[in-house]
Every structure is written in structure tokens, then in C-alpha cells.
């Protein structure tokens, strides 16, 4: 698959510079995460740490730290806010696995397969509660406002996805509304709280929020593509999971709209019937290739990536700004 990566090509498509710049802060975030999953109820740290220690990149908390740094924040509050963002993300994953009946997560058995749906729901609730406690400790009502609104919006996006599930007539706009809610909103909030606790002008808060929103959309679109091949296995994803679950993602939306009547019948049947064979998956990938659905989804992701980079234009050049631009390139480059 030929993909054009702007921003200087693969060498800079990396999160290494970001990781280096926030390393000292991330150590404190990780210590906070560890101490806040603690509970006398031993099942809580077990379930929480299974997921938290499973090698996620912790991109969202890193973005909170990066944006606080970029906007000149000098206090301590960004550490707990970053940990809270990671807890919100982990809670969402725990609940998602129950909703999607997923068996795998990041190449390991999902928490619900090991401890059951009950523990996944409840430990998710616990982490959400702990996230809000940390936000309250930081004491910024503006940050609380941003993250509590995100919490409601994320759930709303997930319900929207549930309602749109298996509806092959979903439009690209409707699909975008879903992923803005379920994925991009947390990236946006994670970025916005940085300048918010730094008490920077509204324009800077909006710029950081916009960076987060657009990198979040790009991230999700590349995820959608990975579900139909590419480096999925390497990233701990099962190829075809979305398809088997009847999930409508952008590659499906595009292939469905561009297909003929027979093809549309295939999509309706396949996504609704629930019992998918390898041959069905092969046919789906074949139709996506025929209609360039995967390439164009990547192209769309590049569009949002470019918007993310432009959102930061008002900030002067700095190593952190460069690092954030490289994160955008990294998210896009995951697809090839």
C-alpha cells in the first residue's frame, strides 16, 4: 500500500522525541497510576494492572504532559491530570470489551475473559471514580469541567455506535460523529487540560484541543484500516475483529457506498449475520481493495493529521512542538 507521509517522512514518524521530553514527568505519572490502583480489594489492582501494564503507549497522558509543557505550565497538577486521563481511557477499554464481547486486547486475553464481565464493569467504575478524585485534588474547576464533559461525551459516542451498529447505510458524517465522541474527545480533553491548568488564553486552549481532536480522529481511522490487515498482528490486534462484530467503520462505509447492488447485499448479509467465515473476510478485503476504501481512509486520516499540525501553528518553534508534529506522523505511519 503506497502511502504519502508528509512532515519529513518515516525518520521523524516517531514518538521517541516526545517520550524523551516527558520522561521525567511520565515517571511520576506511572508512580501515581500504580498507587491509585491500590485497594484492599485485591481483585481491583489485579484487573487494573493487567490492562494498565499491558504495554499501551500511554499516548493520552503523554499528550497532557506535553501540552502543559508547551504552554508553560510550572505547577504539579499535570501529573495527576495525566494519570486521570489514563484511568478514564482504561475504564473505557474495560467497558468496551464487555460491550463488544472482545476476547483479546493488546495481544493478551481481555480482562473480561480472565475475571468476567462483572469485574470489568466494576473495576472500570472504580477507575473512573479514582480519576475524578485525582482531578478534584488538582482543584482546577476548568480541568474538571473539560474532563467530566469528555466523560459524558465518550459514553454518548459509544451509545451512538451501538445504535449505528450493523447499519450499512451509515454516512461518513455519521461515522465521524461516532468517533469524535468515542475516541477523539478524550484526546481533545487530554490536550486541552494542559493549557487550562496553565491558565493560558482561550485561543491556546482551543488550539491544543483542536490538535487532540484531530489526532484522535486520525488515530481511529488508522485503527479502522489496521483491522483489515497491515501491521495489525504486530500491534496485538486480530485482523477482522471489527468485521466479525458487524462494526461499521470508514473502510466499510466507503466500500458499501462505492459498491454495486450485489456487493451491497454482501455487506448487509455479512455484517448482520454474525457468523463470519475466512472467505467472507477475504471478500470484504477484496472489495475494499477494489474500491480503494483502505487507501482513501488513510488519505482521510492524513487530512485530520494535517489539521492537527496546523492547530499548533500559533505556537513558536520548540523541541516539544516538533515532537508533537512527529506524533502525528507516527499515528499515520502505523498503517504501513
Q: Which stretches of the chain bind a copy of itself, using CB under 8 A?
A: 39, 41-44, 95, 98-99, 117-119, 121-123, 125-126, 128-130, 132-133, 135-137, 139, 141, 144-145, 148-156, 158-160, 162-163
Q: Chain centroid to CA 124: how far?
A: 17
- Residue 179 or 312: which CB sits closer to a copy of itself? 179
Nearer to a copy of itself among residue 62 and residue 85 (C-beta) = 85
CB 298, min distance to a copy of itself, A: 28
| Positive or negative torsion for Cα 38, 39, 40, 44 | negative
Contact 44, 156 (CB under 8 A): no
Angle at 181 between CA 179 and CA 182, to 5 degrees: 65
- Residue 241, all three cell numbers: 475483529
**Which is closer to a copy of itself, CB of 165 or CB of 306?**
165
Contact 196, 143 (CB under 8 A): yes
Cβ 291 to a copy of itself shortest distance, Å: 29
Report the distance separating Cα 208 and Cα 191, nearest Å.
Answer: 5
CB of 246 to a copy of itself, least distance (A): 12
Nearer Cβ to a copy of itself, position 8 or 139? 139
Nearer Cβ to a copy of itself (173/261): 173
- Residue closer to a copy of itself (CB basis): 20 or 129: 129
Angle at 106 between CA 104 and CA 108, to 5 degrees: 50
For the CB of residue 210, give the shortest distance to a copy of itself in the complex, in Å. Answer: 21
Cβ closest to a copy of itself, residue 7 vs residue 132: 132
**Least separation, in Å, of the C-beta of 159 and a copy of itself?**
5
Shortest CA distance to 25 belongs to which of 76, 86, 88? 76
Measured from the CB atom, is 105 or 300 closer to a copy of itself? Answer: 105
| C-alpha radius of gyration, the chain, whole number | 20
**Residue with Cβ nearer a copy of itself (69 or 130):** 130
Contact 7, 13 (CB under 8 A): yes
Least distance in Å: CB of 310 to a copy of itself?
A: 29
Q: Dig out the grid coordinates for 274 from the structure.
A: 454474525
User: Distance (Å, rounded) from C-alpha 227 to C-alpha 236?
Assistant: 11
Burial 244-259 (b: 16+ CB within 10 A, else e): bbbbbbbbbbbbbebb
The answer to whether 153 and 177 have CB atoms below 8 angstroms apart is no
Q: Which residue has the cell 477475504?
A: 282
- Residue 293 has which C-alpha cell? 476504501
Q: Minimal distance in Å, beta carbon 315 to a copy of itself?
A: 28
Using CA atoms, how far residue 34 sits from 39, 53, 170, 282, in Å, is: 11, 10, 41, 43
Shortest gap between Cβ of 20 and a copy of itself (angstroms)?
33
Q: How far is the CB of 182 from a copy of itself (least distance, A)?
A: 10
Amino acid at each position: 500500500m503506497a502511502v504519502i507521509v508528509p512532515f519529513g517522512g518515516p525518520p521523524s514518524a516517531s514518538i521517541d522525541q516526545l517520550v524523551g521530553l516527558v520522561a521525567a514527568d511520565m515517571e511520576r505519572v506511572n508512580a501515581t497510576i500504580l498507587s491509585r490502583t491500590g485497594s484492599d480489594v485485591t481483585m481491583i489492582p489485579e484487573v487494573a494492572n493487567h490492562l494498565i501494564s499491558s504495554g499501551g503507549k500511554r499516548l493520552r497522558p503523554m499528550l497532557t504532559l506535553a501540552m502543559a509543557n508547551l504552554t508553560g505550565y510550572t505547577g504539579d497538577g499535570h501529573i495527576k491530570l495525566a494519570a486521570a486521563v489514563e484511568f478514564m481511557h482504561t475504564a473505557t477499554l474495560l467497558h468496551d470489551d464487555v460491550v463488544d464481547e472482545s476476547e483479546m486486547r493488546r495481544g493478551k486475553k481481555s480482562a473480561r475473559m480472565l475475571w468476567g464481565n462483572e469485574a470489568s464493569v466494576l473495576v472500570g467504575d472504580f477507575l473512573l471514580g479514582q480519576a475524578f478524585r485525582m482531578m478534584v485534588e488538582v482543584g482546577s474547576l476548568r480541568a474538571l469541567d473539560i474532563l467530566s464533559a469528555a466523560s459524558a461525551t465518550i459514553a454518548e459516542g459509544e451509545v451512538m455506535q451501538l445504535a449505528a451498529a450493523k447499519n450499512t447505510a451509515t454516512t461518513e458524517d455519521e461515522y465521524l460523529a461516532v468517533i469524535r465522541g468515542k475516541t477523539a474527545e478524550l484526546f481533545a480533553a487530554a490536550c486541552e487540560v494542559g493549557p487550562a491548568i496553565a491558565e493560558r488564553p482561550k485561543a491556546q486552549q482551543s488550539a491544543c484541543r483542536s490538535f487532540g481532536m484531530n489526532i484522535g480522529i486520525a488515530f481511529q481511522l488508522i485503527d479502522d484500516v489496521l483491522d483489515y490487515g497491515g501491521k495489525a498482528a504486530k500491534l496485538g490486534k486480530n485482523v477482522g475483529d471489527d468485521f466479525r462484530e458487524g462494526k461499521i467503520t470508514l473502510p466499510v462505509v466507503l466500500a458499501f457506498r462505492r459498491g454495486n447492488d450485489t456487493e451491497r447485499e454482501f455487506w448487509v448479509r455479512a455484517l448482520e449475520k454474525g457468523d463470519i467465515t475466512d472467505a467472507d473476510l477475504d471478500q470484504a478485503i477484496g472489495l475494499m481493495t477494489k474500491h480503494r476504501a483502505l487507501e482513501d481512509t488513510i488519505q482521510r486520516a492524513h487530512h485530520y493529521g494535517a489539521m492537527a499540525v496546523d492547530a499548533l501553528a500559533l505556537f513558536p518553534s520548540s523541541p516539544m512542538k516538533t515532537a508533537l508534529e512527529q506524533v502525528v506522523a507516527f499515528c499515520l505511519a502505523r498503517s504501513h
